[in-house]
């Protein structure tokens, strides 16, 4: 069995048989006693397992700023990333995944608010 990124390309015969058996069962016949349904999501933590992609970057920082970041101990790059992310979120809060803001409409409203004529492409 060949694997792509740790995922099998094809299922084993026993796995196929098990999936066919599950598909043939009604929802009421499936035993969920070992995994009860969660109905109260009030204590759920959103984004707990979200790990943003990172990219290497060469950046020029003032010597005193870098000294201050490093003076706080190990993890100065993570600290710098956190500071930048907090500043970014103040300026531009993250949108809810799946929602799409109509970019063109936003630019038209922005143009009317500033009193200047702008191109509304995009």
pLDDT tens per residue across span 89-122: 888 776 655 555 555 444 444 445 555 555 545 4
What is the structure's pLDDT at 106? 47
Q: Establish if 84 belongs to a structural domain.
A: yes
Domain extent for 93: 52-97
Q: Are 66 and 79 in contact (CB under 8 A)?
A: no
Number of domains in the chain: 1
Residues of the chain with pLDDT under 50: 1, 104-111, 120, 122
Q: Which tokens hold the place of 95?
A: 């949108």
Give pLDDT, residue 122: 47
Q: What is the pLDDT of residue 75?
A: 93
Decide if 14 is inside a domain.
no
The Cα–Cα gap between 76 and 95 comes to 28
Residue 56 belongs to a domain: yes
Q: For residue 79, what pLDDT is reported?
A: 94
Q: What percent of the chain has pLDDT over 90?
A: 25
């Amino acid at each position: 069995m060949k694997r792509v990124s740790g995922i099998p390309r094809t299922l084993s015969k026993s796995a196929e048989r098990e999936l066919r058996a599950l598909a043939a069962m009604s929802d009421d016949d499936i035993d969920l006693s070992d995994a009860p349904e969660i109905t109260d999501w009030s204590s759920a933590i959103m984004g707990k397992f979200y790990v943003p992609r990172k990219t290497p970057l060469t950046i020029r920082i003032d010597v005193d700023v870098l000294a201050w970041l490093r003076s706080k101990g190990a993890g100065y790059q993570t600290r710098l990333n956190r500071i930048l992310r907090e500043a970014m979120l103040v300026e531009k809060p993250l949108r809810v995944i799946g929602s799409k803001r109509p970019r063109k409409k936003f630019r038209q409203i922005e143009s009317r608010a500033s009193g200047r004529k702008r191109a509304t492409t995009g």
